[in-house]
Amino acid sequence: MRFTLSVCLLALPLAVWAQTPLTEAEAVRLGLARADLADLERGAVQAAEADVLAAGLFPNPTLSYSRDRVDGSPDTVEQSWMLEQTFDVSGRRGLHREAASRRVAAVTAGNASRQLHMAAEIRRGFHDVLFRQETIRAAETWAQRFARVEGMVGKLARAGEASGYDRRRLARERQTAEARLAAERAELDRSLARLAALTGAAEAPLLKGALLPSPPTPVDTALTRLDQRPDLQSLSRRAEAADLDGRAAKRGGIPAVTVGIGPKYADHGSTQDQGVALSLSVPLPVFDRQQAGQQRAAAEALQARAEYRLAKRRAEGELRGLYRQAEGLRATAIDYRSRAVAASPELLRIAESAYQGGESSLLELLDAYRGTLETETTALELEKRARDARIEYDLLTGSVDQ
């Protein structure tokens, strides 16, 4: 490709030259492999897994001790130890544990969605650097052409055919070119620093890639895979978790049973008796039958499913629009470069010949040079816009295609 960057750029430090060129795929891999991102994702999953552990645990048993005097007699004392355990006979504990597991899946899908957005940000930064580098290359070519113009003006000046105005006008044009080049290099420095931060690179990398994207995945194919997008998967798992919590809440009329057992001692002064004490307690679900839990779970499931439908419909519309935009911009960029940019060398040759032959002025020659630069810059901007649209399209499809 024309924009494969393996050539040197004056704006980059010499240390960069020894580096292996960084591709887009490698930049994404480096960015997603950062330890901070891994810790963030692992922490989110571990927090959700803690809820699974908590939901699956039995309640702690209770050990109690009692000492009583019978009938107020100082000689008769009863003592008992009681170990009590509450049992869930309704199955709510298992349902809550399954609901927590679905939330772990939702968090995992959320991590995948975060990675997609991070990859898209890295890709934008990568191609922004490519765009800046190519813009600098075009500006440097523009600035280097002044050596040819100075040679022409000097030759005409010796022949008495060049005016002082031409020399001053040429000097001002050179200053404009140098200022523009300095501004572009400053933008490149900023873009390189941003990309280095995104990828975790210690220094500005040398890049290898193409601004113009390849054709996007057909929109019909992307629409069939839309349900696999991580953010939609996360919403779906949230809805399933809320459904399970609702099923558990509907069993609120089935109370938990607490069973107790322990030794009992009776001291009558002259004699002692001992035995086993049993207890059974069941709360009566008269007032609280988990009505609030049922309503909350139903509301959460309703909200998650509504968000899912809204997000999916919005994504369907945006996918169709982005596909047309990406395809249109790509076709326009290819056509513009093959026609407008390809014609620039011939136009420059004609303009230079006309100036040397005295058929045109210096202003007309400089205008031809500026037009060539603007044509190249326009081509780069079209390719950058096509790339940006492609990155957005890939993000909506849930993929990181190159």
Q: Say what the pLDDT of residue 344 is.
A: 87
Closest CA to 49 of 105, 104, 111: 104
Query: What does the domain layout of the chain look like in residue ranges?
Result: 14-397
Contacts of 43 (CB under 8 A, 6+ apart): none
Q: Would you call 255 helix, strand, or coil by DSSP?
A: coil
Distance between alpha carbon 67 and the CA centroid of its chain, in Å? 65
Cα→Cα distances 172→164, 323, 352, 360, 364, Å = 13, 45, 19, 19, 15
**3-state SS of 100-125?**
HHHHHHHHHHHHHHHHHHHHHHHHHH
* Pairwise CA distance, residues 105 & 109, whole Å: 6
Amino acid at 93: R
pLDDT of residue 144: 79
Q: Which two tokens stand for residue 56?
A: 């699956």
Within 10 Å of residue 120's Cβ, how many Cβ atoms? 18
DSSP per position, 158-223: HTT-S-HHHHHHHHHHHHHHHHHHHHHHHHHHHHHHHHHHHHT-SSPPPB---SSPPPPPPHHHHH
Dihedrals phi, psi of 21, to nearest 5 degrees = -55, 140
C-alpha span between 241 and 293 (Å, rounded): 13
H or E element in which residue 267 lies? strand 257-267
pLDDT at 8: 38
Reading the chain (402 residues) residue by residue, the pLDDT tens digits are 333 333 333 334 334 333 578 899 999 999 999 999 999 999 999 999 999 999 999 999 999 999 887 666 667 788 899 999 999 999 999 999 999 999 999 999 999 999 999 999 999 999 999 999 999 999 888 877 776 776 666 666 656 655 666 667 777 777 888 888 899 999 999 999 999 999 987 666 678 899 999 999 999 999 999 999 999 999 999 999 999 999 999 998 899 999 999 999 887 777 778 889 999 999 998 888 889 999 999 999 999 999 999 999 999 999 999 999 999 999 999 999 999 999 888 888 888 788 777 777 777 877 888 888 899 999 999 999 999 999 999 999 988 765
User: What does the block give as tokens for 96?
Assistant: 């809550």
| pLDDT, position 160 | 60
CATH of 14-397, one of 1.20.1600.10, 3.90.1580.10, 3.30.1370.160, 2.60.120.620: 1.20.1600.10
pLDDT given for residue 354 in this prediction: 86
Three-state SS at 350 = helix
CB-based contact 11:205 (threshold 8 Å): no
Q: Rounded CA gap, 367 and 348, in Å?
A: 10
Report pLDDT for 17. 35
Secondary structure letter of residue 12 according to DSSP: S
